Amino acid sequence: MGPEKLWPDPEPDTYFLERSLRQKGYQRIGGLDEVGRGPLAGPVVAACVILEENCAYSAFVDSKSIGAEKRSRLFMELQNSGAGIGVGIVSETDIDRINILQASLLAMKKAILAMPLEPDFILVDGNQPIPMTIPQQTLVRGESKSASIAAASIVAKVVRDELMEQYHRQYPQYNFLQNKGYPTLEHRQAIKKHGPCAIHRQSFKCVKEFTAKI
């Protein structure tokens, strides 16, 4: 299947692929995305979402393009809409052990396995297929091409942000409430001052150089 050739011009219909796949006989089409590849601390979180066939799909856009309040509202709407939702989390310890790419793929696999019903087709954000036998299609910048992937990005972002807010209460000196573990100047300066904490990714360059201070 070649989504780039199928894509309608000039305005993309972000439910076009899901609709096309249903016409081919697929019933449970999951969008899959992850959040947290770039941070210096905390887990990587993935989500898989199967939208209801007649949902208001245009409401679901890339999580990075909307604010926290709207993301939370859309997450609640998804939970109340009958959408299928699965979440997969891979810890910073496992990220250090297997590397961030493999950890991201593992989180995506976990998200699929956490679904109430297994998808019969998955649309995957990015260019790396998931190591599963389920039929799938990778989509670079998939959040802008598939409402299901966009919905998954919202779920993953909300879940990860909530986790980092919990960690902020445990490690307030790093201000995870604001930076969510990403390598802001303030965060990097905090690591330099206090050394890394238990949830920092020890294999990442900006953390590794200060591990001797633990």
Q: Is there a domain that residue 193 lies in?
A: no
CATH number of the CATH domain containing 62: 3.30.420.10
How do strand 136-139 and strand 121-125 relate by DSSP bridges? parallel
Give the pLDDT of residue 35.
Answer: 97
First to last CA, the chain: 50
Rounded CA separation 187/193 (Å): 10
Q: Is there a domain that residue 129 lies in?
A: yes
Give the pLDDT of residue 4.
Answer: 47
Domain count, the chain: 1
Q: Is there a domain that residue 145 lies in?
A: yes
Give the pLDDT of residue 212.
Answer: 54
21, burial (CB in 10 Å: exposed 0-12, middle 13-18, buried 19+): buried
Q: Which helix (H) or strand (E) holds 30?
A: strand 29-35
Q: Is there a domain that residue 201 lies in?
A: no
Q: Is there a domain that residue 62 lies in?
A: yes
Q: Is there a domain that residue 53 lies in?
A: yes
- The pair of structure tokens assigned to 17 is 């692929």
Q: What residue ranges of the chain have pLDDT lower than 50?
A: 1-10, 213-214
Q: Is there a domain that residue 26 lies in?
A: yes
Contact 72, 159 (CB under 8 A): no
Give the pLDDT of residue 8.
Answer: 46
Give the pLDDT of residue 24.
Answer: 96
Give the pLDDT of residue 11.
Answer: 59
Quote the pTM value: 0.91
Contact 167, 61 (CB under 8 A): no
Note down the domain range covering 144.
3-171
Q: Is there a domain that residue 75 lies in?
A: yes
User: Residues 44-95: pLDDT tens digits?
Assistant: 999 999 999 888 888 898 898 899 999 999 999 999 988 999 999 999 999 9
Determine if residue 167 is left, alpha or beta; phi over 0 gives left, psi from -120 to 50 gives alpha, anything else beta.
alpha
Any alpha helices (H) in 133-204, and if so which ranges?
Answer: 147-170, 176-179, 185-194
